[in-house]
Structure 1
Amino acid sequence: MGNPFNLFLLTVVMTCIWITEVASDEITNIFGTNDSFFSSFPRNFLFGTASSSYQFEGAYLADGKGLSNWDIFTHEAGNIVDGSNGDVAVDHYHLYLKDIELMEYIGTNTYRFSISWARILPKGRFGSVNIAGIKHYDKLINALIGKGIQPFVTLTHYDIPQELEDRYGGWLSPQIQKDFAYYASICFKYYGDRVKYWVTLNEPNVVAIRGYRSGLYPPARCSASFGNCSSGDSEREPFIAAHNMILSHSAAVNLYRAKYQGEQKGNIGIAINAVWYEPISNSLQDKQAAQRAQSFYMNWFLDPIMFGKYPEEMKNILGSLLPEFSSNHLQNGLDFIGINHYTTFYAKDCLHSTCVQQGPCVSKTEGYYLRTPTKNNIPIGEPTAVDWIYVYPKGMEMMVTYLMNRYNNTPMFITENGLGEMHQPDSSINAFLNDDSRVEYMKSYLDALISVIRKGADVRGYIAWSLLDNFEWLSGYTTRFGLYHVDYTTLKRTPKSSAHWYKQFILNFTRFEAVYRSTS
């Protein structure tokens, strides 16, 4: 008989080899590639799912919460396609512990959620702090951390206290800058010892455009030629609202850096809706139109935050319509850029060329370009059930590359990416559970993300939208983005194929980390 210790060592070595081979085989099976795919992700990469307070929480009047602008807007007839609202949503407010178990099943290590401003400060600065609201998020954060899940917290995801609209017009007044900074300071004070990732504003570009140009979102303001609104000025108000959002972001960042960041060691950024635009032709005019599209949509916010000024394309076209910044304290005003990316469009020049076809973005205040998903009647990518999403993974790579180059490779997180399906009331649940199209979408976009990470992009996380089917703004409950199916009658959560796939994907990544990086 051989030496028992040597036999033990041989067993350990053979087991490690077997684990390595199995992990490599499973990695290959799940992604059609090998361990080199996972080696491209940085250490401590975050994989997560996302939500927002109005879309998930429900409990819209529970425990002292005040009314938000979306509470008011959804209760007005005709605003939501199915006549629904977020009064109950998916009742995440009461079911968050069960939902954390769903995250634990998948194996995610971060959860992006937003705090309801009206739940913390029902009257803004004009009333007291709602301690019941403070305690709710305290319990949510502790429960997440107890499961090893990093809270990734957004301060406002479209919803603001209705009190601020009623008192001074919300984002149209500079007063909101003080209100936002006050609200942010409360969140930093109560939660900053545990929250290491803060997002000030979710998609302020969407809020400015849909709230003040087209009037599709609250406060539903626009000019008569832009939409069906009772009041508003589509040529001026989007830029006033955007200006106040930028300065509110700046106020929160400056406060965090001056008072909290040194001790709490967290990071603060903003999440931008990031549509990629491809020029519809190789002409110089169309290439310039694609650049204007980025400037009038995304750089509109990021340039002032990073460089202290609006993009040149905007200043050249808009002139005095753009407000002025009175100081340079905006520069480098974030630690990371959150990228909410779903789709890509073509951009056609309408500044130097004639655009016979009318459509989004052809006016002066939009940048004089035509946004279209087709060229010669051929869509840019595979159409989906959601009419604004086309599957074009290259757009992910191009978008991240663009941001990397323009903003000196500031750290980035994919804070939203996902695929929606249209709800059919008479469909069986299996029609939603077998969501192979969502799996293929996530695979292809993660593959594109890896391509740009390999080129040096400092991307530190991927957060899928969304954990659960939920209230999808103007679409109500007619569109489903969740990795888990929700029966809106019983609120039962059921994992879809995408939840199982994401679980296996993260498991293989975790195995790679344990097996390969432990020896490197």
Structure 2
Amino acid sequence: MEELAMKEIGKDFLWGGAIAANQAEGAYNRDGRGLSTADIQPFISGADPVDLHFNDLDSSTYEKYRNGAYFYPKRQGVHFYDRYKEYIDALAEMHVKTLRLSISWSRIFPNGDDAEPNELGLAFYDRLFEYMKSKNIEPIVTIFHYEMPLNLVDKYGGWANRELIDLFVNYGQTVLNRYQHVVKYWIIINQINLIHKEAFASLGILKDQADHYEQAKFQAIHHQFVASAKITEFAHQLSPTLQMGMMLADTLTVPYSCDPADVKLNFQRNRMQYFYSDVLLRGEYPEYALTYFEDHNIRLEITESEKELLRNNTADFLAVSYYWSNTVKAGENTMDPNSTVKNPYLKENRWGWSINASGLYLCVSKYWDRYRVPMMIAENGIGFRDVLTADCKVHDNYRIEYHQEHIKALLEAVREGANVFAYCTWAPFDIISAGTAEMTKRYGFIYVDYDDEGNGSGEFHYKDSFYWYRHVIDSNGQDLG
């Protein structure tokens, strides 16, 4: 009888990092770019570091942020738009094989509903992708990553409006046509399931403008499902080499205890997190989700032709972001994904993010068992306050330890059969935080000298983790130091 060998990652495995245009590029009002939702996220000095103040927005908060006297860090990012060659050179020196990044929707269609795309915006990504290819760095591109043209909020009410389907599909087809020969891997929508944690960034809906806010959010998600299927259909007709992915933020929980009530609530919670990938990878709305909608008086408008479209145009791969894990406890928690209880066995950073490497093994294994499609780790990391020493060093053993343990967990899932083709750390160099719009919350292997108010030299300083990650890449994950 033939002995079965344990699986290991292949020689073409893509080690790299991930960034988003709205957190890195800057140049928010240059070369024809329009305002996006990310451009009105302020930095609020002294705010509670765990407070995501840019999540559920009403009209008054929206106007306050849009017209207030704030500093808006994402408008300048870390000047990637002007300095992209320097950043790519630094990544090449770290020997990364891939960089996941996003295209700014408002750089291509400044208002979202423009008759023609902005050629200057398209030309920037021409230059960027060409330069990445010259350095042997494979681009993995996200089409929509938490920034939509602000006009689509003002004029249409965000993704709750069915008209956004065709507007987004037009944008997606434009970039696919333009970059089909230089970009193979595409993620259509970033973390499509985070409608309870990143509602405004994901959907552009103002909660007081909806009669039934939760219904409006799920209707918006349906519109994103349909748009994703249409873009996938177009891509597959355009070129059989294009790989179209859907992306989840892993929010799977574990029961707080073995109390049957905790176990049941955890099971029901996790099923509603599988909902998004069940639709986009299996091609249909699962019965448990339909029951949830009925129980919560959610009435979605779904046509028969849309059902057929979803059924026939499922995603090619699953992208997953993994950062932390939480527990749920009956009597204290609800079906709201924001309602959790901290795991008492885990340490956490100052932003309240728990550290649990085994959670990455669990989530990758569960998704593989459920879907059996290729997977990539689209984001994995945790923010820390780094100290730049007098001799311009950052001794970040805490970051090395975090990634060591998470890569070990990933490799364990791979050895047990999971088909994973890429691992992207968030982020390979310091960028603006998505949730709190601060620079102090640093993720990178490269220290970028800007502070929370945008001041600094912008100089790069390689942290200890830079050299460690380079060695991991050179050994193809066989030596984690």
TM-score (norm 1): 0.79
Residue 313 and residue 285 in structure 1: after superposition, are their counterparts in 2 closer, same or farther (change >3 A)?
farther
Aligned residue for 1:205, secondary structure, equals coil
Offset from partner CA, 1:144-196 (integer Å, 9 cap, x none): 01111111011010101112222211211111111111111111111111101
Instruction: Confirm or deny: 8 A CA contact 2:158 2:203 kept in the other structure.
Output: no
Q: Equivalents in 2 of 1:418, 1:432: separation in Å?
A: 20
Mapping 1:40-189, distance limit 5 Å? 40-74=8-42, 83-189=71-177
Q: 1:431 to 1:203 in 2, by over 3 A?
A: farther
Cα distance in 1 for partners of 2:459, 2:115 equals 37
Gap change, CA 1:346 and 1:47, over 3 Å in 2: same
- Which of 288, 304, 326 is residue 313 of structure 1 equivalent to? 288
Q: Using a 3 Å threshold, how does the CA distance of structure 1 residues 83 and 128 change in structure 2: closer, same or farther?
A: same
CA RMSD of aligned residues (A): 2.8
Displacement, 1:401? 1.1
Unpaired runs of 5+ in structure 1? Answer: 1-35, 224-229, 350-354, 513-520
Structure-1 residue corresponding to 2:226: 247
| Aligned positions, number | 443
Which residue of 446, 469, 472 maps to 1:502? 469
Give me the whole-angstrom Cα distance separating, in 2, the residues matched to 1:197 and 1:419: 25
Which residue does the alignment assign to 1:482? 444
Q: Match of 1:439?
A: 400
Query: Kindly tell me: are residues 232 and 417 of structure 1, through their superposed partners in 2, closer, same or farther at Cα, counting changes over 3 Å?
Result: farther
Deviations 1:344-397 (Å, cap 9, x if unpaired)? 111223xxxxx1x4x6xx25xx37x951113xxx24x2222321x211111111
Q: Does 1:418 align with 2:381?
A: yes
Give the counterpart of 1:372 among 337, 341, 348: 341
Q: 1:493 to 1:303 in 2, by over 3 A?
A: same
**Cα distance in structure 2, aligned partners of 1:158 and 1:117:** 10
Identity %: 26
2:270 to 294, 299, 302: 294
Shift of 1:242: 1.2
| Per-residue Cα deviation, 1:397-437 (whole angstroms, up to 9, x for no partner) | 11011111111x1100000001111478xx75789811111
1:267, distance to aligned residue in structure 2 (A): 0.5
Q: Distance in 1 between matches of 2:83 and 2:202?
A: 28
After TM superposition, give the deviation of residue 304 of structure 1 in Å: 1.1
Give structure 2 stretches of 5+ with no counterpart. Answer: 44-62, 451-455
Question: Is contact 2:41–2:65 with CA below 8 Å preserved after alignment?
Answer: no
1:272 is paired with a residue whose SS is: strand
Three-state SS of the structure 2 residue aligned to 1:392 is: coil
Of residues 256, 275, 298, the one that matches 2:235 is 256
Task: State the one-letter code of the partner of 2:361.
Answer: E
| Pairing 1:329–2:309 present | yes
Deviation string for 1:208-258 (max 9, x for gaps)? 22454xx687746336xxxxxx87743322211211111111111111112
Per-residue deviation, residues 95-133 of structure 1 (Å, max 9, x unmatched): 000001111111011110100010011122333211111
2:360 corresponds, among 396, 399, 403, to: 396
Quote the Cα distance in structure 1 between the aligned partners of 2:242 and 2:101.
16
Asked whether the equivalents of residues 453 and 459 of structure 1 are also in contact (C-alpha less than 8 Å), the reply is: yes
Aligned mates of 2:11, 2:41 — CA distance in 1 = 43
Contact 1:309 1:325 (C-alpha < 8 Å) held by counterparts: no
> What is the aligned counterpart of 2:253 among 277, 283, 294?
277
| 3-state SS of paired residue (1:385) | coil
Structure 2 residue corresponding to 1:383, chosen from 305, 324, 348: 348
Deviations 1:73-116 (A, max 9, x none): 44965699x95421111000010000011111110111101000
1:272 Cα offset (Å): 1.2
Q: Which amino acid aligns with 1:281?
A: S
Say whether the 8 Å CA contact 2:321–2:377 is kept in structure 1.
yes
In the superposition, relative to structure 1, how do residues 220 and 188 fare at CA in structure 2: closer, same or farther (>3 Å)?
closer
Residues 1:267 and 2:255 aligned together: no
CA spacing shift, 1:222–1:323, aligned 2, 3 Å: same
- Name the aligned partner's letter for residue 386 of structure 1: W
| Contact 1:275/1:342 (<8 A) preserved | no
Amino acid at match of 2:405: S
CA contact (8 A) 2:146 2:202 kept: no
Q: CA deviation at 1:290?
A: 2.0
SS of match in other structure, 2:73: coil
Three-state SS of the structure 2 residue aligned to 1:159 is: coil
Paired with 2:162 and 2:202, the residues of 1 have a C-alpha distance of: 20
* CA distance, structure 1, for counterparts of residue 301 and residue 260 of structure 2: 30
* Structure number with bigger Rg: 1
Amino acid of the structure 1 residue aligned with 2:239: Q
- Work out which structure has the larger RCO, using CA pairs closer than 8 Å and 6 or more positions apart in sequence: 2
Q: Which has the higher helix share?
A: 1
Are 2:433 and 1:472 equivalent residues in the alignment? yes
Q: Distance in 2 between matches of 1:271 and 1:498?
A: 27
Measured in 2, the distance between the counterparts of 1:128 and 1:250 equals: 23
User: Take 2:286 and 2:188, find their aligned partners in 1: how far apart are those partners?
Assistant: 21
1:303 maps to what in 2?
Answer: 278
- Secondary structure of residue in 1 paired with 2:407: helix
